[in-house]
Amino acid sequence: MDRIRIVGGRHLNGTIPISGAKNAALPLMIASLLTPETVTLKNVPNLADVSLLIRILRNHGTDAAFDGKRANGHVHQGDTIHFTARDIVDTTAPYDLVRRMRASFWVLGPLLAREGKARVSLPGGCAIGTRPVDLHLTGLQALGADIKLDGGYVVASAPGGLKGGVVRFPKISVGATHNVLMAATLAKGEVVIENAACEPEVVDVAACLSKMGAKIEGAGTPTIHIQGVDELEGATHTVLPDRIETGTYAMAVAAAGGDVTLEGARGDLLPGVLDLLRNAGVEIAETNRGIRVTRNGAALRPVTVETEPFPGFPTDLQAQLMALMCRADGISEIRETIFENRFMHVSELTRLGADIEVKGDMARVKGVPRLHGAEVMATDLRASVSLVIAGLMAEGETMVNRVYHLDRGFERLEEKLGSCGAEIERLHS
């Protein structure tokens, strides 16, 4: 199993290109199931989750064709992939595939909308809480789907097609919003989604669906209106830049010190994050190339924050911020309101010398003068990269084990950081 070795204390200087957003690319790929025509996606990141989803889509009959080299092409460009689901050959998404990645459960809505039936395994993914799928199921039931649970599978049917209706989510769910939004495009009549997720990735998926002929209004607001159509067509769409990767590298620069331009990054995708970093003493400037992040060695100021749906502080950056605040001059308080089990990185950060106290959903981080390198274990995707950030600050060598989590969400992380001066390398088992 691969490991990542880091020797801390090196400043970062240069340019890091920001990849396409994984959290947009995955639902965009799944949306190709809604039409027999070709959907071309540009700027798709080369990640383990993308490769796994291609396997799942091919299981349903989708052809995925790459432009040029399969992967590791030009460092500034993601892949261009053409998805063609001319015929759905299988409406079952098996446990062996779905258990590895939670987002693969989202094939349920498109398969049900297009074929009138679907059998999809209950999902797996990172161990950061139970994350039940009840909102997905009640949302599709509101559109007329008949849903049963059988042997760990969701068995859904709508022989006469999905119909218009009102879906009222009791709480905000990005995944459920994606699933119902995609299914609603082929429903008979109007669908209204209330308390919908407002994340930029939802807006990006809605934009692509609109290019395919869907009639959608209100994406990016809590109420989305969809007028169902009989069929969708092909389209070409460019995946938006990854705001979580942007925030992660901004915090890496803040941790290590230096001056780095995050090429292609968009400040409007993470306004709360940039403001928080500015308040912590990090210099942030938006330019025509992206976002420039600078810290010249001045002390970091502590912060108080809680994770929230967009435009609030994202849960996917909570672990990275906690790592950064380990060296702040004072006490930071970080409240996790989205997932109930997302502090698993705390015990690993303490191995590096961090002073963190957790009570319920609150972590109290007392900044320390220095961190010390150690061997640590990654527990999930975002926890993994928080350990990398801590390693950049720590004295001596840090070894991060189980980095397969990183490959699910960060493209060429060690290459991007290494090109800016970090002493970091991947060790193959």
Q: Residue 131 annotated as binding?
A: yes
Residue type for position 167: V
Residue pair 175/102 in contact (Cβ under 8 Å)? The answer is yes
Question: Catalytic amino acids?
Answer: 126
Distance from C-alpha of 128 to C-alpha of 194, rounded to nearest angstrom: 26
Contacts (Cβ under 8 Å, ≥6 apart) of 69: none
Q: Residue 18 annotated as binding?
A: no
Q: Count CB-CB contacts under 10 A for residue 5.
A: 17
For 213, the token pair is 């002929």
Contacts (Cβ under 8 Å, ≥6 apart) of 316: 23, 244, 382
Residue whose entry in the numeric block shows the structure tokens 């993601």: 78
Neighbour order of strands in the sheet with 215-217: 163-168, 188-194, 223-227, 215-217
Q: Residue 102 annotated as binding?
A: yes
> Cα dihedral sign for 373, 376, 382, 385?
positive
Q: Which residue intervals of 41-130 are DSSP H helices?
A: 48-59, 95-98, 108-115
Q: Which strand (E) or helix (H) includes residue 65? A: strand 63-66
Q: What is the full DSSP assignment across 291-329? A: EEEEE-SPPPPP-EEEB-STTSB-GGGHHHHHHHHTTSS
Q: Residue 163 annotated as binding?
A: no
Nearest to 6 by CA among 415, 391, 393, 405: 391
Q: Residue 195 annotated as binding?
A: no
Distance from C-alpha of 347 to C-alpha of 91, rounded to nearest angstrom: 42
Q: Residue 23 annotated as binding?
A: yes
Q: Residue 22 annotated as binding?
A: yes
Q: Residue 112 annotated as binding?
A: no
Nearest to 164 by CA among 226, 220, 230: 226
Q: What is the full DSSP assignment across 94-161? A: -HHHHTT-GGGGGGHHHHHHHHSEEEEEPP---SS-----HHHHHHHHTTT-EEEEETTEEEEE-TT-
> How far is Cα of residue 14 from the mean position of the Cα atoms in its chain?
25
Q: Residue 36 annotated as binding?
A: no
| Binding-site entries | 22-23, 102, 131-135, 316, 338
Binding residues for phosphoenolpyruvate: 22-23
Q: Which residues are annotated as a binding site for UDP-N-acetyl-alpha-D-glucosamine?
A: 102, 131-135, 316, 338
